[in-house]
Structures are given as structure tokens and as C-alpha cells.
Amino acid sequence: MSGPLVYVDVSEVREGSLDRLRGAIEELAEFIEANVPEVLAYNVFLSQDGTEMTVVHVHAGPDSLDRHLIAGGPAFRPFADLLTLKSITVYGEPSERAIGLLHEKAEMLGSGDVTVLRPRAGFSRLEPIAKLD
């Protein structure tokens, strides 16, 4: 069953890096918006005290997550100095390629914790976006 995917990652913000992180996440969000048009939503949240960051993005299907990880891969590297990734959770049916890229991202940013929760029931009214070649 292929359908929408929701990606959530949670990171600990390294002490003293919050100001640099704020600028970096704004740049990354602009990059993703400009270079991966299939992403339906991309949002970054900081905890009230600035010690934790959560990233949530929504994809109409597995191809969108693949393209996001491929295009964003080089842009994720600078974050290794700013945060420590605690977990990645994907709700839906990602491709095997995406799962491998997620494990690489998790290891690069501090954690090997990647969880995929596959759907068991429900529905989606999101329509897949036509493939862009």
C-alpha cells in the first residue's frame, strides 16, 4: 500500500549553537522548498527552552521522500556540528532506498535510531503529485 508519508525527527540542540541553528534551519527550509517541490509540508519546531528541535515533513508518496533525502543529503551535513539527532520516525511505506538513506543520515547526525511505522488502517485524501522528471 503506497500512500502519504509523514517524517518526524527529534534532535538535541548542542549547547551554544542555537543562534547558528536558527539561521541554518531557515536556509534548509528555503532550499527544500525551492528544490523538492513534491514535499507537501516541511516544518521545523524548537522547544521553548531551545534545547530540542523537531522536524516534520509530509510527502504524497515514497518518491517524494526519496528525492528529499537525495537533494537534501549534502545540506544535512553542516547540522552535525549544531545538534545530535535522537530519532527519526517515518509513518507510511518508504522505499528501501529511503530507509538506507535515513540510516545514513541518523549515523551522520548522531543516532542510528530509525523507526518505520507502516499503516494498518485509515485513509488519506492527499493525492499524489505527478512525477517530475
pLDDT digits (tens, 9 = 90+) for 55-80: 999 998 999 999 999 998 888 888 99
The residue among 78, 81, 87 whose CA lies nearest residue 53 is 87
Q: Are 88 and 55 in contact (CB under 8 A)?
A: no
In sequence order, which residues have a C-beta less than 8 Å from that of residue 111 and are 6 or more positions away? 84, 85, 86, 87
CB count within 10 Å of CB 58 equals 18
Query: Would you state the pLDDT for residue 24?
Result: 95
Query: Would you state the pLDDT for residue 129?
Result: 54
The residue among 76, 7, 13 whose CA lies nearest residue 47 is 13
Q: What share of the chain in percent tops pLDDT 70? A: 94
| Per-residue pLDDT at 44 exceeds 90 | yes
Q: What are the backbone angles phi and psi of residue 27, rounded to the nearest 5°?
A: -65, -45
Query: Would you state the pLDDT for residue 2?
Result: 72
| Per-residue pLDDT at 131 exceeds 60 | no
| Per-residue pLDDT at 126 exceeds 90 | no
Q: What is the CA radius of gyration of the chain?
A: 15
Q: What's this model's pTM, rounded to 2 decimal places?
A: 0.89
Largest Cα span, the chain: 44
Q: Which residues are paired to 46 by β-bridges?
A: 53
Q: What is the mean pLDDT of residues 99-107?
A: 94
Q: What is the mean pLDDT of residues 99-108?
A: 94
Q: Are 128 and 61 in contact (CB under 8 A)?
A: yes
Q: Are 114 and 106 in contact (CB under 8 A)?
A: yes
> What is the architecture, at CATH level 2, of domain 5-117?
2-Layer Sandwich (3.30)
